[in-house]
Amino acid sequence: MKKIITLLLALVILIGALAFATYNYALNLGKVRLINNNQPFQVVKGDNLTKVIQRLIGNENSLRVKLYIYLHPEFNNLKPSYFDLKSTRNLEEALQVLNSEKGMMVSVRLIPGRTWKQWNQAFTSLDANVSNDIQGLSQEQIASKLNLKPISGDKSFKSLEGYFAPDTYLIDYKSPLSQALIVSNQHLMANLEQAWNARNALSMAKSPYELLILASIIEKEKGNDEEAKLISSVFNNRLKANMPLQADPTVIYGMGDKYKGNITRNDLRTPTPYNTYTIPGLPPTPIAMVSKNSLMAAAQPADTKYLYFMAVFGENRHVFATNYNDHLKNVDTFNREYRQKYGK
């Protein structure tokens, strides 16, 4: 009997030792170095942990891999993305990164005050890790691809001008440009709704789209964010008085490629749908991409009687006047100061 007990005890010890050795064998898989961690590692949709481990360290005993996965259920939360593994030394550290959901990102910078045409031209020189999936598409095709909805008051919905909020957007590494544009449009719609709901009694916009159009003119005219509501007051006062807006940026926008850096008197007299010297009210579409500051300024113009303003050369600001005579005095004063300062 003693011999049997001894044999059983030895067998139990042997099994325990084998189990412990197997446990350590599986556990130590996490210490295996990666085949190559210098390149971004991609987890694709449908990848399971077994496939990922094999791509990280090469072919390994399947039983060992299964046991390792069993011992580490926390590593099963894989997110499809690209990951930077340069700082990882072994499989365990790599799997911690892959399960952190901190995939690699790239930035897409959309600058305020630029036109859709200027943005589209800039898209040709995007970061190489962003794919331009709208290249060559018409504005109508892009609107369809992004599933854009017309802004209330936009009856034609043929122009993408103003439909996106300028900002720097972070998107997944190797993702398409459309991913950033979809988020940008969502931000614009949210900003516009907030501005529309916050407009005061001085705002003359009759629809959210008119508010966006007015904001785009303010965006192009303002010298700084602080004076945006003063600029807005001039245009809203003119709309209320049925005066032409006479905004040079709208003339430039309507000239298109004909604009070479200067506006002539003939340009101001030449009718286009955007020449606010010759048309009443607002132009048919925005003339640029609009910041939230300009949207809020369009919705909440300052309470003034200003009808005129002019830029102060070299100072990134404007001076304002309530009547044409005072405006002419400002023009004379500041032009004289400019000539004295710069000798021109």
List pLDDT tens digits, range 147-156. 999 999 999 9
3-state secondary structure 73-94: HHHHCCCCEEECCCCCCCHHHH
List pLDDT tens digits, range 9-68. 555 554 544 444 445 555 577 787 888 888 898 898 888 888 988 888 888 777 778 888
CA 257, distance to chain mean position in Å, is 27
Q: Structure pTM?
A: 0.84
- In this prediction, what percent of the chain has a pLDDT beyond 70? 90
Q: Where are the alpha helices (DSSP H) in the chain?
A: 2-27, 49-57, 62-71, 91-98, 116-122, 139-145, 177-197, 208-221, 228-240, 248-255, 265-269, 292-299, 324-342
Residues 83-103 as b/e (b if ≥16 CB within 10 A, e otherwise) read bebeebebbbbbbebbbeeeb
Residue 47 has a pLDDT of 87
Where are the chain's structural domains?
25-99, 116-306
Residue 102 has a pLDDT of 83
Torsion of CA 7, 11, 13, 18, to 10 degrees: 160
For residues 241-258, average pLDDT? 95
Task: Output the CA angle 257-263-268, nearest 5 degrees.
Answer: 100
Q: What is the distance between the alpha carbons of residues 17 and 15, in angstroms, rounded to a whole number?
A: 5
Hey, what are 40's tokens? 């971004």
List pLDDT tens digits, range 106-117. 999 999 999 999
Torsion of CA 4, 7, 9, 12, to 10 degrees: -130
Closest C-alpha among 118, 100, 101 to residue 109: 118
Do residues 81 and 100 lie in contact, with contact meaning Cβ atoms separated by under 8 Å?
Answer: no
Do residues 296 and 222 lie in contact, with contact meaning Cβ atoms separated by under 8 Å?
Answer: no
Residue 20 has a pLDDT of 46
Hey, what are 239's tokens? 């709309």
**Residue 295 pLDDT > 80, yes or no?**
yes
336: left (phi over 0), alpha (psi -120 to 50) or beta: alpha
Do residues 297 and 218 lie in contact, with contact meaning Cβ atoms separated by under 8 Å?
Answer: yes
Phi, psi of 115 (to 5 degrees): -90, 165
Closest C-alpha among 35, 92, 32, 91 to residue 58: 35
User: Among the listed ranges 236-240, 298-302, 337-341, which one has the minimum average pLDDT value?
Assistant: 337-341
